[in-house]
A = this chain, B = another copy of it.
Amino acid sequence: MAKNKKLVEAITAMDTDFAQWYTDVVKKADLADYSSVKGCMIIRPYGYAIWENIQAELDSRFKATGHENVYMPLFIPESLLNKEKDHVEGFAPEVAWVTHGGEEELTEKLCVRPTSETLFCQHYANIIGSYRDLPKLYNQWANVVRWEKTTRPFLRTTEFLWQEGHTAHATMEEAEEETLRMLNVYADFCQDFLAIPVIKGQKTEKEKFAGAQATYTIESLMHDGQALQSGTSHNFGDNFARAFNIRYLDKDNTHRYVYQTSWGVTTRLIGALIMVHGDDSGLVLPPRVAPIQLVIVPIATHKGGVLEKAQEIFTTLKAKVRVKLDDSDKNPGWKFSEHEMRGVPLRLEIGPRDVENGTVVLVRRDNGEKLTVNIAELAQKVPEILQEIQDGLLAKALKHREEHTSKAYSLAEIKENLDKKPGFVKTMWCGDRACEDQVKEVARASSRCMPFESEHLSDTCAICGKPAKAMVIWGRAY
C-alpha cells in the first residue's frame, strides 16, 4: 500500500515551483492534511504544536497589556450581521449559512461567524453603562469561516483559527492608542518570536477592513518575493457604537458613544514561517517557536554506552530546551532528513567515538554548520547556539527583504521591477483609488500599506503624476 510508505522523499525545489514546494513542505513536514470538506484543512500534531507555541506567546503578551479572554457564539443571526452597513457588505458574500437546526428549518438563518464585531458590539451594548465600565479589553481565540474560492493550507482556508481582540474605549484617542499598541505587539512578536521582519503601516481606503475608519497592518515578504499580510489592527471610531447604540454615561452625566478597535492574527502565520525561512530540504523553524529545538540522534546504538550517554544528555538538556531523543529503529541518515524536513533547529549526533572523546557533533539546520562540542559544555552551548540561529534567521530574512525592495517612479517601472525581481516596490502616490486600480491591472500588484517609516521619493504620484500625498509599498500578495 502506497500509504504505508513513509520515505523521506525529495521535495520540489523552491526555484522550480515555489507553490509546489510549499505544498510538499506542508505535507511532508506533517503540518497539515486535506480533509473531505472543500477548503478546510486538518492541522496535524506537529503543525498544531507550532500553533500552540504561537498562542501561548501571544496570549501572554495580550494579558500583559491588560486583555481578558472571552468566548462568543459561533453563529450570528442575519439581522445582527446586517446592522453595520459597510461591514455586512464586506462579509455577506463570503459567509456560510445555517438554515436548518435539528429537523426544522430556522425562522432566521444564521451565519457562521466570519469575524465577531457584531457579537461583541451587541454584548458591549448590554454590559457597558458608565465610564467606570471602560475600557473593555477583550480577546477571543476561535475558529472562523469565510467561503473562499481558492484555498491553500494555512494561507487561505475556508475555516481558520485565529484570535480576535475587540475593545471599547471612552475616547477616540484611547482607541487609536490601543490600535497602534496591538499592531506593535504583533510586530514585536513576529520579529522576536517568529524571526519574521515586518513593515508597519496603514492600509489605503481601498484595502481597509469593512467598517473600519483606519486599518493598520504588518506586512512581510516571503522567499518568492510575494507579500503576506500578517496581522491587522482596526480603529472603528464610533461607527459600530452608533449602529449598535453602545453608549456610556460619562462623568459629566452625558451619554457618549464608545470608540472601538479590533485586531487579529491567524494560522496564516504558520504559512509565513514556512515561506520566510524554509529551504530545499524543507521547513526551517526559528528556535523560539519550534516544538522541538534540539533532536538527539544516537549513532551505532548497538555499541555499548552510546544510548546511555544520549539519554544522559537528554536528561541534562531537558530542563534548558525542548529536546527530543530519537531512539527509533530507523537509520541515522533517514532521521537526519526527517528532522531537517521538519525544521528542527539543531541536531546532536553522538556515536561510539564521541562517547570515547567526551564530545558530540552539533549540526545547525539554518546553515548546515557542524560543531564539535564537549559534552560538559552542552548545557551552556546549546541555548547560545539556538539564540544565534534565532538571530541569524531574522537577519537573513531582513537581508532578503532589503534585496527585494525597490523604488519606482512610473507605473511601467513598478511592473518591470516586480517582473524582474518580485518583492516590495515603493512609490509616491496621490491617494486616489484609480491609481491603485491601475497598478492592479497593469502590474498585478496591490498597495500593501503606507508605511510608518516613510521616505520622500519625489513630489508626484508615480502612476498619474499628480501631487503625491504619501509613500506606498506595492506588492503581489498571497
Contact = CB atoms under 8 A, between A and B. Distances in A.
Contacts of A6: 129
B73 A41 contact: yes
Contact of A36 (B33, B77, B143): B77
Contacts of A94: 102
A243 interface: no
Contacts of A68: 45, 48-49
Complex copy number for this chain: 2
Interface string A109-151: 1101000000100110011011000000010001101010100
A102 B92 CA distance: 7
Interface in A216-269: 249
A143 B72 CA distance: 11
A35 B74 CA distance: 11
A99 B97 CA distance: 6
A93 interface: yes
Nearest to A71: B43
Contact of A123 (B42, B48, B75): B42
B35 A73 contact: yes
Interface residues of A, number: 61
A214 interface: no
A74 B36 contact: no
Interface in A63-87: 68-77, 80
Contacts of A1: 129, 249
Nearest to A73: B40
A3 interface: yes
A159 B93 contact: no
A418 B364 CA distance: 68
Contact of A40 (B33, B74, B109, B126): B74
A14 interface: no
A100 to B, nearest CB: 4
A141 to B, nearest CB: 9
Contact of A130 (B4, B93, B143): B4
Nearest to A143: B74
Interface in A1-15: 1, 3-6
A103 B123 CA distance: 28
Residue of A41, A52, A94, A110 contacting most chain B CB atoms (<10 Å): A110
Contacts of A101: 95-97, 147, 158
A37 interface: yes
24 contacts: A1-B249, A4-B129, A6-B129, A33-B123, A35-B72, A35-B73, A35-B122, A36-B80, A37-B76, A37-B77, A37-B110, A42-B72, A43-B71, A44-B70, A45-B138, A51-B71, A75-B96, A93-B102, A95-B101, A96-B110, A97-B99, A101-B158, A112-B112, A142-B143
Given A35-B119, A36-B122, A142-B143, 4 more contacts: A4-B129, A4-B130, A42-B70, A42-B73
